[in-house]
Amino acid sequence: MSIPSTSVDVPVRVRELARGAALTPVWLDGIGGLTFRTDDGRYIKWGPLDDEANMRDEAERMRWARTWISVPEVLEQGQDDAHEWLVTVAIDASSAVDPRWAAEPESAVRAVGVGLRALHDALPVAECPWEWSTHQRIADADGRPTAFVDLAALGVADRWADIAVASMSTMWNFGTGWEDTLIEAYGVDPDRDRDRLAYYRRLWNET
């Protein structure tokens, strides 16, 4: 997963969806999917069909979550025999992995931790129509289920699943030593449940 070069080949479907707008590549994921920003305030996400975290489900969950949290407005979503795509309105924000944050990793990491906690606290678990289907429903450390953060797979699950993977992602983006910083910014003690952190990290790496 990385920021692609500006010389990346733009898929035909993305050019069609751009409708003449200029395109800047902003993300390349691990399965070859690409995300572009247009110069008219949109993001176009395109990639191979993915049964596990597909863009159809992502669009549905984003529309639901917008009642309670700030997520991009979905403009269109579709797919063909081999690929899928999602077009959203750009929001006034920058990614935590934007190059500008490389020199300020602590600020970025703490912001992600605070934002993750805000998302968990804002989404109404009782009204969430999905469960995290990959694994069984588990009560969180406070004795109640919570909402899973990955918007393509949003559903009721253990909040530590999010905390574990979000903190682990700091190693990919900023190097070692930031995992506990994110967890502390979230508002819990990293030593509260090391076993659960390890469990969800193993689970993520196995899927």
| Tens-place pLDDT, residues 130-161 | 887 544 444 444 433 454 556 888 888 888 98
pLDDT classification of 81: cutoffs 50, 70, 90: very high
What local confidence, expressed as pLDDT, does residue 163 receive? 94
Q: How far apart are CA 8 and CA 155, in angstroms?
A: 34
Out of 46-60, 73-87, 169-183, least confident range: 46-60
User: Is the overall model pTM greater than 0.95, yes or no?
Assistant: no
| 96: pLDDT strictly greater than 50 | yes
| 15: pLDDT strictly greater than 80 | yes
Q: Average model confidence (pLDDT) for the chain?
A: 87
| 189: pLDDT strictly greater than 50 | yes
pLDDT classification of 11: cutoffs 50, 70, 90: very high
Name residues whose C-beta falls within 8 Å of residue 98's C-beta, 6 or more positions apart in sequence: none
What local confidence, expressed as pLDDT, does residue 6 receive? 65
Contacts 24+ apart (CB under 8 A), 62-68: 62/88, 62/151, 64/128, 64/129, 64/154, 65/123, 65/151, 65/154, 68/122, 68/123, 68/124
| Closest by CA position to 206, among listed 165, 152, 153 | 165
- CATH 3.30.200.20 positions along the chain are 12-89
> What's the CATH fold of domain 99-206?
Aminoglycoside 3'-phosphotransferase; Chain: A, domain 2 (3.90.1200)
Instruction: State mean pLDDT over 64-72.
Output: 93
Instruction: State mean pLDDT over 179-188.
Output: 97
Name the residue with higher pLDDT: 5 or 70. Answer: 70
The CATH number of 12-89, from 3.40.50.740, 3.40.50.720, 3.30.200.20, 3.40.50.300, is 3.30.200.20
